[in-house]
Amino acid sequence: MIVRVPDYFGEFSCIAGKCTDSCCLGWEIDIDEDSYEYYMSLSGEIGERLRRDMYETEDGGHGIRTNECGRCMMLNDDNLCDLYIAAGEESLSEVCTDFPRFGIEYRNVDQKCLSLACEEVCRILFSKTEPVKFVEQELFGDSDDDQGVTEEEAAFFEKAQSELIAILQDRTKPVSQRVDEYIAKANEYQKELNGSDVEKHVDWLSFNDFSFDSFDIRFGIVNDMELLRQVWQDYKDDMRNILIEADYEKRMKEYMESADYRENDIEQLLVYFTFRYIMNAIYDSNIIVYAYLCVMFTMIVRDMNAVRFFKNGGKFSIEDQMEVARIFSKEVEHSEGNVEAAKEEIIWG
């Protein structure tokens, strides 16, 4: 088995109670089947609490209830997990032990990322000044399931991912030019898959388009997305009120020409999204759709950055970038429906 990860993967360690936005807050807490069976047999007060706070989901699975503030019932006032304290890490369900790690598996490869929905991951990523590298480690044992992917298909999509990331990390060129080349290369790969030219009518996803019309389409997609937390609604309200038609282009240029605009942050976002999504095309052959998705998500975060910049009176720190990226990731990337809605707009919009 080959495990492929970004070079900062091993730097991550949960900061537990020091975290200002717990991963046990604002989400449904799913319980895998093995953990459910263990919880049903767990003795003592913690076992009784768990069974009282578990419920059956619509699909027949199980979860742990959250309170009126969206906090997992196991999360105490110090933002620590009472289950972990009482029964140890091995007692946690898969969703709790895996986060913020996630990935995609195909053939004999397990490609893993760290989610920007975690503030410590954001701190690590946006503190990096050098281009991210991706490292592989061969572990003992092979997968028995190739997931229907041939060696040739795996090699094709791995090459595409590698070349697309290399384009984004070419610091001899401005990010805007890199994005143009990135989309052009994704189109070339899509043509190889289709055997013919690819027609995509997504002018509103041009990275260099600072028209309000382009923003308005992106905002419409954002506005229709599932609402997970009030902070997301607050940000949407701010986007609507601050990035107005009369001066959208002027405000975006003011933010991007300021000393606080960092192309490094934008590069890191583009590379993060590309590593997270492009290999998904191995299962639906839609490289160009995922490439546009990565650009769209980066442009939405860039809009959110500008909103924060003006709310701060013309200032935008690395801590602001960390918080904006975390809010976006938690609200959009961790809702399958929200990601699918964005993809559908690219395909059919």
Residue 41 CB-density burial (10 A; 0-12 exposed, 13-18 middle, 19+ buried): exposed
**SS3 labels along 82-119:** HHHHHHCHHHCCHHHHHCCEEEEEECCEEEEEECCCCH
**pTM for the full model?**
0.89
pLDDT tens-digit series, residues 98-117: 888 888 999 889 999 999 99
- Alpha-carbon distance of 6 to 134, in angstroms, equals 4
- At residue 92, the pLDDT reads 87
Sorted by sequence, the CB contacts under 8 Å of residue 289 that are 6+ apart come out as 281, 343, 346, 347
Out of 38-47, 112-121, 163-172, give the one with best mean pLDDT: 163-172
- Least confident piece of the model among 12-21, 226-235, 278-287: 12-21
Rounded Cα distance between 209 and 275, Å, is 24
Sheet of strand 62-64, all strands in order from the earlier edge strand to the far edge? 29-31, 62-64, 54-56
| Over residues 249-273, mean pLDDT | 96
User: Which pair of structure tokens corresponds to residue 158?
Assistant: 């791995």
Report, in angstroms and rounded to the nearest whole number, the Rg of the chain calculated over CA atoms. Answer: 21
Q: Does 22 score more than 80 pLDDT?
A: no
Residues 6+ apart with CB under 8 A from 132: 6, 7, 8, 125, 169, 268, 271, 272, 275
SS (H, E, C) 114-176: ECCCCHHHHHHHHHCCCCCCEEEEECCCCCCCCCCCCHHHHHHHHHHHHHHHHHHCCCCCCHH
User: Is 250 in a helix, a strand, or coil?
Assistant: helix
Average pLDDT, the chain: 90
- For the chain, which residues make up each domain, given as ranges? 24-98, 149-348
pLDDT of residue 200: 66
Question: According to the model, what pLDDT value does residue 253 have?
Answer: 94
* Residue 141 binned pLDDT confidence (cut-offs 50, 70, 90): low
262 or 103, greater pLDDT? 262
pLDDT, tens only, 281-294: 999 999 999 999 99
Looking at residue 139, its pLDDT comes to 78
Q: pLDDT tier at 143 (50, 70, 90 boundaries)?
A: low
